[in-house]
């Protein structure tokens, strides 16, 4: 049998370990047996291409999905999705979800004693354009307490899910906000050993794209694994 | 070309259905005209054998599905080869997806299989696994299965349950832990 090409491991410290005891939920849910080297076959290299039929009006405007305007600080979020060579990932599906301005998720399992906002669902999705750009409008999410340890609070964040050129490019992550004093206290954020890698999950204030007298803007770039190993397939 | 370091992963958390359920809601509406479909059902379990009620699984069939595996049509946008499901309070899931076929490539012939991604609160990076189908002739020669320690291979093979129906559990940790791949 010929030697199978395998997936390269991540650069040391740039990805969290599965077993990270300060994040209590990881203890009983993370594998203990050795991970097996993943061969790089067609299965891993290609991936689904989502069509524009998936995206509906207001999917990238989380402030316009209900009759009234949600409470809180309006913001724009935008950035680029790139591969490891810095090339734009085009047509990438970006899915986002978040708590409302009071730090409450519209989810039946969220027991935090903070108000739901009838005008905010907290979900959005979009496809990147020809330059790998995505953008959406939302409300700045609030921090909220969680049960990990005594007096544990999550820093404000927006969840991101992304698909790239192939299934190996798949990424779920969180975008944070600059200057949040809860970040150094958060085991999820700090599960990434490398400080520079951690800080790449913190968006930057972008005054150039802010709309005066209306809303601030934050910029957040994402780099997906892979280097465009398959030609981009035209969407139908 | 300047090299970039891939962004770090963070857990999907407990409330991901808010943003990710739309793909599940819509896939149940799809039909599979012309394609053979299999169902795989099972449970996601943690170290203690407790059900994981807030997991999400993504199944990927990169082979010939009879339709278009890769590219979602303009109407619904979801490729035939991709399905996303979540577990319920019992940790159970069920997925219906185009039946995989054997494929030939530079690594030789691969037995029919699906790539599986596992997401959950507590998992800071998703897990990558594969599921093969009991009784497929190519299983004994599959180059990827042969790369897995022999005593653990059975964790990647779904058991026949009925006609085009299979059982496969995902055990995150402990006895009979499912094989996961490094990435």
Average pLDDT on B113-142 reads 97
Q: What is the pLDDT of residue A39?
A: 86
A3, two tokens: 């030697």
Q: Which of B179, B170, B175 is nearest to B43 (CA)?
A: B170
B2 to A86: CB separation less than 8 angstroms, yes or no: yes
CA distances from B117 to A169, A203, B148 (A): 12, 27, 18
Torsion angle of the four alpha carbons B141, B143, B148, B151, in this order, in degrees rounded to the nearest 10: 0
Sketch out chain B's domains with CATH numbers: 17-171 (2.60.130.10)
Q: What is the pLDDT of residue A166?
A: 92
H-helix segments, chain A: 42-45, 195-199
Q: Which residue has the higher pLDDT, A3 or A114?
A: A114
Q: Is the pLDDT of residue A198 over 80?
A: yes
Q: What is the pLDDT of residue A228?
A: 55
DSSP label at A235? P
Q: Which of A3-7, A64-68, A106-110, B70-74 has the lowest mean pLDDT?
A: B70-74
Average pLDDT on A127-135 reads 97
d(Cα B73, Cα B46) in Å, to the nearest integer?
A: 37
Q: What is the pLDDT of residues B22-63, one digit of tens each?
A: 888 666 656 555 568 899 999 999 999 999 999 999 999 998
Q: Can you tell me the ipTM of this complex? A: 0.94
The three-class DSSP label of residue A82 is strand
Q: Is the pLDDT of residue B127 over 90?
A: yes
CA angle A15, A47, B121 (to 5 degrees): 40
Q: Is the pLDDT of residue A212 over 50?
A: yes
Q: What is the pLDDT of residue A3?
A: 67
For A82, the closest chain B residue by CA position comes to: B4
Q: What is the pLDDT of residue A146?
A: 98
Question: Domain boundaries in chain A?
Answer: 24-223
Cα end-to-end span (Å), chain A? 38
Average pLDDT on B129-136 reads 98
Within 68-97 of B, beta carbons closer than 8 Å to A belong to: 70-79, 81-82
Q: What is the pLDDT of residue A233?
A: 41
A4 to B3: CB separation less than 8 angstroms, yes or no: no
Helix %, strand %, coil % of chain B (to 5): 15, 35, 50
**A to B CB pairs, distance under 8 Å:** 272
Q: Is the pLDDT of residue B173 over 50?
A: yes
A124 to B4: CB separation less than 8 angstroms, yes or no: no
Whether the CB of B5 is below 8 Å from some CB of chain A: the reply is: yes
Q: What is the pLDDT of residue B105?
A: 80
Q: What mean pLDDT, rounded, does chain B reach?
A: 90
CA distances from B171 to A167, B46, B87, B108, B178 (A): 22, 6, 13, 29, 5
Instruction: Choose, from A66, A87, A133, A159, the residue flagged as catalytic.
Output: A159
Residues 6+ apart with CB under 8 A from A131: A80, A88, A90
For A3, the closest chain B residue by CA position comes to: B107
CA angle A84, A179, B124 (to 5 degrees): 50
* Dihedral sign, Cα of residue B153, residue B158, residue B160, residue B161: positive
- Band (pLDDT 50/70/90 cuts) for residue A235 is very low
Q: What is the pLDDT of residue B106?
A: 76
A197 to B2: CB separation less than 8 angstroms, yes or no: no
d(Cα A221, Cα A128) in Å, to the nearest integer?
A: 12
Q: What is the pLDDT of residues A80-123, one digit of tens each?
A: 999 999 999 999 999 999 999 999 999 999 999 999 999 999 99
CA distance A3 to chain B (A): 8
Q: Which CATH class is domain A24-223?
A: mainly beta
Within 188-207 of A, beta carbons closer than 8 Å to B belong to: 188-189, 191-192, 197-198, 200-201
> Contact A229/A165 with Cβ under 8 angstroms?
yes
> Contact B139/B32 with Cβ under 8 angstroms?
no
Q: Which of A126-130, B10-14, B150-154, B161-165 has the lowest mean pLDDT?
A: B161-165
Q: What is the pLDDT of residues A18-45, one digit of tens each?
A: 999 999 999 999 999 999 998 889 899 9
Q: What is the pLDDT of residue A195?
A: 98
Q: What is the pLDDT of residue B29?
A: 58
Whether the CB of B150 is below 8 Å from some CB of chain A: the reply is: no
Q: Output the DSSP codes for A177-206.
A: -TT-TTGGG-TTGGGS--HHHHHTTB-EE-
Q: Is the pLDDT of residue A216 over 50?
A: yes
**What is the Cβ-side half-sphere exposure of residue B18, based on CA atoms within 13 angstroms?**
26
Q: What is the pLDDT of residue A5?
A: 81
CA distances from A167 to A172, A226, B71 (A): 12, 10, 13
A197 to B179: CB separation less than 8 angstroms, yes or no: no
d(Cα B52, Cα A225) in Å, to the nearest integer?
A: 28
Q: What is the pLDDT of residue A236?
A: 31
Q: What is the pLDDT of residue A1?
A: 47
Average pLDDT on B58-87 reads 79
Q: What is the pLDDT of residues B88-117, one digit of tens each?
A: 999 999 999 989 999 888 778 999 999 999
CA distances from B151 to A131, B44, B154 (A): 47, 21, 7
Whether the CB of A110 is below 8 Å from some CB of chain B: the reply is: yes
Whether the CB of B135 is below 8 Å from some CB of chain A: the reply is: no
Q: Which of A8-12, A226-230, B49-53 has the lowest mean pLDDT?
A: A226-230
Q: Output the DSSP codes for A7-38.
A: PPPPPTTSS--S--TTSGGGTTTS--SPPEEP
> pTM of the entire structure?
0.95
């Amino acid at each position: 049998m010929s030697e199978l090409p395998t997936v390269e491991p991540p650069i040391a410290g740039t990805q969290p370990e599965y077993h990270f005891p300060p994040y209590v939920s990881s203890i009983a849910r993370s594998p203990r047996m050795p991970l097996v080297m993943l061969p790089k076959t067609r299965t891993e290299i290609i991936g689904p291409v989502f069509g524009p039929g998936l995206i509906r009006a207001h999917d990238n405007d989380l402030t316009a999905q209900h009759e009234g305007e949600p409470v809180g600080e309006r913001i724009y979020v935008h950035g680029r999705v790139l591969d490891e060579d810095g090339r734009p990932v085009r047509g990438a599906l970006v899915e986002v979800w978040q708590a409302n301005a009071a730090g409450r998720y519209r989810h039946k399992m969220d027991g935090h004693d903070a108000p739901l906002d009838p005008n905010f669902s907290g979900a959005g999705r979009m496809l990147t354009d020809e330059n790998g750009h995505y953008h959406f409008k939302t409300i700045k999410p609030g921090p909220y307490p969680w049960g990990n340890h005594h007096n544990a609070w999550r820093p404000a964040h927006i969840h991101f899910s992304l698909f790239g050129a192939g299934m190996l490019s798949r990424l779920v992550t969180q975008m944070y906000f600059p200057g949040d004093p809860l970040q150094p206290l958060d085991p999820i954020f700090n599960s990434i050993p490398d400080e520079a890698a951690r800080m790449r999950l913190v968006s930057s204030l972008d005054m150039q794209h802010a709309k005066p007298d209306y809303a601030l803007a934050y910029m957040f770039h994402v780099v997906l694994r892979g280097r465009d190993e398959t030609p981009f397939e035209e969407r139908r | 070309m300047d090299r970039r370091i891939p962004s770090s992963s963070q857990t999907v958390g407990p409330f991901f259905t808010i943003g990710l359920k739309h793909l599940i809601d819509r896939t149940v509406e799809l039909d599979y005209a012309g394609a053979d479909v299999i169902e795989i059902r099972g449970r996601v379990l943690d170290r203690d054998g407790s059900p994981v009620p807030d997991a999400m699984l993504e199944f990927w069939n990169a082979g010939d599905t009879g339709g278009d595996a890769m590219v979602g049509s303009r109407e619904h946008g979801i490729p035939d080869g991709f399905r996303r499901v979540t577990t319920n309070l019992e940790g159970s899931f069920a997925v219906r997806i185009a039946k995989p076929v054997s494929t030939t490539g530079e690594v030789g012939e691969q037995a029919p299989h699906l790539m599986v991604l596992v997401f959950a609160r507590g998992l800071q990076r998703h897990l990558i696994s594969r599921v093969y189908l009991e009784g497929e002739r190519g299983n004994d020669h599959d180059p990827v299965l042969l790369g897995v320690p022999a005593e653990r291979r059975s964790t990647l093979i779904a058991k026949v349950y009925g006609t085009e129906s299979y059982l496969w559990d995902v055990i995150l940790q402990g006895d009979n832990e499912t094989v996961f791949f490094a990435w």
